[in-house]
Amino acid sequence: MKVLVIGGGAREHALCRSLSLDPDVTALYCAPGNAGIGEVAELCPVDALDGEAVARLATELEAGLVVVGPEAPLVAGVADAVRAAGIPCFGPSREAAELEGSKAFAKDVMAAAGVPTGRSYVCTTPEEIDEALDAFGAPYVVKDDGLAAGKGVVVTSDLDKAREHALACGGRVVIEEFLDGPEVSLFAITDGETVVPLTPAQDFKRALDGDEGPNTGGMGAYSPLPWADPKLVDDVMATVLQPTVDELHRRGTPFAGLLYAGLAITSRGVRVIEFNARFGDPETQVVLARLQTPLAGLLLHAAQGTLDLEPPLRWRNDAAVTVVVASHNYPDTPRTGDPIEGLDEVAAQDAPHAYVLHAGTKRDGGAIVSAGGRVLSVTATGQDLAQARERAYRAVARIRLDGSQHRTDIAREAAGE
Ligand code: AMP
Ligand code: GLY
């Protein structure tokens, strides 16, 4: 099978890495990709948001499967265009991707499906905003209704800051009850009816150690979660994932692709913080590091509506940790164009247990240089989290990128350190 992956971050590098290890994959392409992906897939320049262009490329390549990584192409209808060209596509339709594209839509689906989530108001006027902030009290949770690349949410105890963000969102704003407790990311593969959960992971969203600093796209992740209730996955399947997929099916807009549940484990039970319509980044890096089942067949079953035929997933007993190396000044005004050194040393000395997945990188002559905020996702496996963590940080220490930053506490607590 020939596979085309859309996107160019570390999530897509992880997807391409797993697909390249799948014996059923005879050719692998990625558009637009990055410098690291270029080592396992052939890179194709295409505008990932242009559905017709992606469908044309997939047709020319005779792709048997297209996998859409990021949310923006999904919300723009790229999966619909690929399917209209008769090519199986892993990724929901534009309408179903609204689960991520509009927080108000997601709240409506959850209410209809009886899915536990924070109470919320959808506001459009300054008066409604003030009333909602007043009703919930501090800490305030204010969310831009639409896609905002992780920057749309402000959680603050400062009423003025909460109001300022709400007004700056400009359109619809969701103001929500504060949810206390550890966060878990649980992904499920679905064909619109059958739902197959993956293994839970935890993401570190804040820029600095100790969960300080601004929100980011994610600074690291680990899996499994030794502290989590062993019934968590079954519980979330029954109360969140299956009811949500069923509700979208009932509405005539089935969700086929990856359903990402961002959960808060509160003292009153599990609550959905958000849904995403695609694999999470950087959680995918650790989830796929542990998945033993070949990836292409699994995604193809989801794309073709035959997920009920997929045998039970197989997982490695290993633990996995990924540490994001970000550029100078991420997330505010990341600096790009800095040379990255030490990649060869990781490949020579730390493989196969540790490896570097590229996010914002590109080739510049003979060098690899930074090209975005999150630059690398250094991933390692081990017999437990402590070993995976040690291997990941040993590899991080070999990387030289001027002004770069990374958290030093990824999975530290979970590893019992
Ligand atoms: P989201 O984009 O909805 O995932 O929000 C980004 C981050 O903001 C989440 O990972 C949480 O850490 C935080 N957050 C969002 N909603 C809430 C909430 N209702 N209560 C507490 N924290 C939240
Ligand atoms: N890691 C958070 C996200 O992918 O949205």
pTM above 0.75, yes or no: yes
In tens, the pLDDT along 53-92 reads 999 999 999 999 999 999 999 999 999 999 999 999 999 9
Q: Is residue 67 part of a domain?
A: yes
Ligand 2 midpoint to CA 279 (Å):
8
Ligand 2 midpoint to CA 218 (Å):
6
Same domain, 128 and 220: no
Q: Is residue 415 part of a domain?
A: no
Domain boundary among 74, 90, 106: 90
Same domain, 189 and 304: yes
Residue 400, H or E segment? strand 400-401
d(CA 326, CA 331): 8
Same domain, 222 and 297: yes
Same domain, 169 and 189: no
Q: Which ligand is nearest to the CA of 120?
A: 1
Domain that holds residue 374: 319-401
Q: Give me the mean pLDDT over the 191-206 stretch.
A: 97
CATH no. for residue 229? 3.30.470.20
Pocket test for ligand 1, best of 100, 143, 173, 273 (most atoms within 8 A of CB): 273
Residue nearest to atom 3 of ligand 2 (CA): 280
Is 10's pLDDT higher than 70?
yes
Same domain, 146 and 224: no
- 24, burial (CB in 10 Å: exposed 0-12, middle 13-18, buried 19+): middle
CATH no. for residue 325? 3.90.600.10
Query: CA angle, corner 270, sides to 269 and 276, nearest 5?
Result: 165
In tens, the pLDDT along 299-352 reads 999 999 999 999 999 999 999 999 999 999 999 999 999 999 999 999 999 999
Q: Is residue 417 part of a domain?
A: no
Q: Is residue 110 part of a domain?
A: no
CATH no. for residue 17? 3.40.50.20
d(CA 280, CA 181): 20
Same domain, 333 and 292: no
Same domain, 193 and 147: no
Is 283 touching ligand 2 by the criterion CB < 6 Å? yes
Domain count, the chain: 4
Nearest to 211, CA basis, from 409, 30, 10 = 409
Contact between 313 and 298 (Cβ < 8 Å): yes
User: Judging by DSSP bridges, how do beta strands 319-326 and 361-364 pair with one another?
Assistant: unpaired
In tens, the pLDDT along 207-266 reads 999 999 988 999 999 999 999 999 999 999 999 999 999 999 999 999 999 999 999 999
Is 178 touching ligand 1 by the criterion CB < 6 Å? yes
Is 43's pLDDT higher than 80?
yes
Q: Partners of 326 in the beta sheet?
A: 374, 405
Same domain, 325 and 369: yes
